[in-house]
A and B are shown apart, each in its own frame.
Chain A
Amino acid sequence: MKPSIPIATVKLLERLGCTVSYPEKQTCCGQIMTNTGYYKEALPTVRNYVDSFEDYDYIVGPSGSCVGSVREQHAMLAHRAGDGGLEEAATAVAGRTYELTEFLVDVLGVTDVGAYFPHRVTYHPTCHSMRITKVGDRPLQLLRAVRGIDLVELPMADQCCGFGGTFSVKNPDVSIAMASDKARHVRSTDAEYLVAGDQACLMNIGGILHRQRSGIHTIHIAEILASTEKEVSVA
């Protein structure tokens, strides 16, 4: 949906010396089908994920939620479908799949990626990054090292924004109530940007912030980390 995020991810990884490939066969983690209960419909995405990435050393995703789904659900779906071979392959590929900030901190061993972002920013730790993928404070370590940034704490940061994939469609009223509370907390920080590691949550909260004419922009962490004094990746 938002090409600026993978573009920033590519630029950032290349700047840090990685050789980045984009297998065009790749698509999606299939979480939307899995979490709605459609296991059979999700299975092709598991096969395609394994086929696309089997040959790579590291698979990096700029989304805590998608990476969590690859790690926690792919093998389960293969198992439930009775496909032992796929289950084994999915487990192996999932073991080499990293969320972007995990890859930077754990594999590349950097927290200062040489980024420059002279703005007031508040960070929302998305539920799946935090509780499923368990990225911990890695995003904050990386953000704290960004030059020029004014990082302010978000009240009730660990509360869900109410997106939840199809939850926002199946339970629109509760979803809006939750997103509105989240937007209220974001506004209370007087930040210029709300940053997170998952575009879906940003789209949810950002949709409310925009409707409220709050003037607060949403931004993916890859976009901040990719920004330098020479090249600002924010449109």
Chain B
Amino acid sequence: MSTRERLTPEPPSWLGIPPFPEAAKAELGKAQQRKNLRHATATIRTKRAIRAAEVDNWEELRTAAAQIKDRVGRHLDHYLVQAEKAMTEAGITVHWARDGDEANRIVGEIAKAKGVDEVVKIKSMVTQETDLNEHLEEIGIAAWETDLAELIVQLGHDLPSHILVPAIHRNRSEEREIFTTEMGRYGTPAPEGLSDEPAELAAAARTHLREKFLRAKMAISGGNFIVAETGTLVIVESEGNGRMCLTLPETLVSVVGIEKILPTVEDLEVFLKLLPRSSTGERMNPYNSFWTGVTPGDGPQDLHVVLLDNGRTNVLADPEGRATLRCIRCSACLNICPVYERVGGHAYGSPYPGPIGAILGPQLRGLDEARDRALPYASTLCGACNEVCPVKIPFTDILVHLRHKVAEYKTSKHPTVEQGLMKGAGWVMSDGRHLALAQRASRTAGLLVKGRWLGPMPIPLAGRWLQARDVEAPPTETFRQWWKKNRGDK
């Protein structure tokens, strides 16, 4: 940054976050955050389970959704061209962006052409992915988040910790603190004596944001779906802030990942049933906005859609990983994930945390960075995410596939210690005679420490295990020996 004062609160950078194991350790130490996360994820996942159980053809809907998304992937080139044509005919200006920088530049140029120095934003994952707000800040445009949780994150000089509930790691009293100290610096201050009652906090946010909505000439959003057949842009939300952004400003720019296309309006039915139930545990989103072009006197008069690749075609090119692109960003996998529940979103080092972040991030960005190589291992492969995913992404299979790619990446230049261990294990396990040999060694150890449990001791690898756990001593007789002695004649 230059020496000039910033227009918006400065956020920390994702780039400073260490790889998952280290980052997770730091997050685990935050007792209040762990409490907030446990409470919030438990509440949402219970609601999701109830709402999913209400639908008798839930499994069929999941299958349909997966199939529609896979069909889009198979014919993406066709649907994209169809969508571009339909949107253009309806009066939407379509732009194409290969990567985040290109998307940011396009949005910035539109804003400059409109002569605005501030924009209002609807919560959008894709602009988090491209770090759009920081790009706009650099060219002198203030981008204001209007989703309540995004506002808390933005004013708190913080990073989002969840796809749907970016401030999930914060509680009410922390929110009150942030509003009280920060709102006044960037607009309408919080009222005197603000309490931590949800209604009062929401009212403070509403007042603070209203002034921004009424002044804004341009809004920026993501997009949940684009219907290729009609060129319709679909944006769903819960708070109504989105509708304010979509109806008040003259210009709307929506940055949308190329995987968000659906073939027909009928396909929407499947997703509008699955998405709210999976994400917020609601039967339907309170606000559903559909824009097919521009209508004089109603809504934005100048509408731009930026279709963004940013690594998505690479994901599509991998047959084992491409099901990741089915994701509709519902965040059900985060709420069910026992790892996410303990550490929260920041440890994943990107706007996409939890199981989806662990598979999407390394595929979008590649494996050149240590933090991306650590992500596929940030899971116990417990499979809970597979079961809740409304589009049936096979998370555990993809995680294992990505681990294989990481192992290949790491061993492509020179052999590693881990590979040596795995090779050794592979040799031991390739034949019963090899295993018997290894077991004889373990039995010798077993005889030495006969029957005792082993406590903390400084052994490589095992030492970390024994920090918090004891281990039973190895057996003094192996099963093989027992079998020979007792059933040997068979």
Contacts and interface: CB of A to CB of B under 8 A. Distances in A.
Interface residues of B, number: 68
Interface string B314-330: 00000000000000000
B469 A208 contact: yes
Nearest to A159: B338
Interface string B26-58: 001000000000000000000000000000000
11 contacts: A21-B490, A25-B432, A28-B429, A28-B435, A33-B426, A37-B406, A44-B430, A132-B383, A174-B343, A203-B471, A211-B455
A130 B402 CA distance: 23
Interface in A21-40: 21-28, 30, 32-40
A127 B382 contact: yes
Nearest to A235: B451
B139 interface: no
Which of A23, A27, A34, A48 has its CB near the most chain B CB atoms (within 10 A)? Answer: A27
B404 interface: yes
B387 interface: yes
A172 B400 contact: no
Contacts of B24: 171, 173-174
B169 to A, nearest CB: 16
Given A27-B430, A38-B407, A170 B468 contact: no
A160 interface: yes
B432 A26 contact: yes
Interface string A150-175: 00000000111011111111111111
Interface in A63-94: 72-73
A69 to B, nearest CB: 10
Interface in B401-419: 402-408, 418-419
Interface string B390-407: 000000110010111111
Interface residues of A, number: 69
Interface of A: 1-3, 6-7, 10, 20-28, 30, 32-45, 47-48, 52, 72-73, 127-128, 130-132, 158-160, 162-180, 203-204, 206-208, 210-211
Contacts of A206: 472
B20 A164 contact: no
Contacts of B379: 164, 167
Contacts of A128: 381, 383
Nearest to A205: B469
Given A26-B432, A48-B430, A131-B384, A3 B477 contact: yes
B339 A211 contact: no
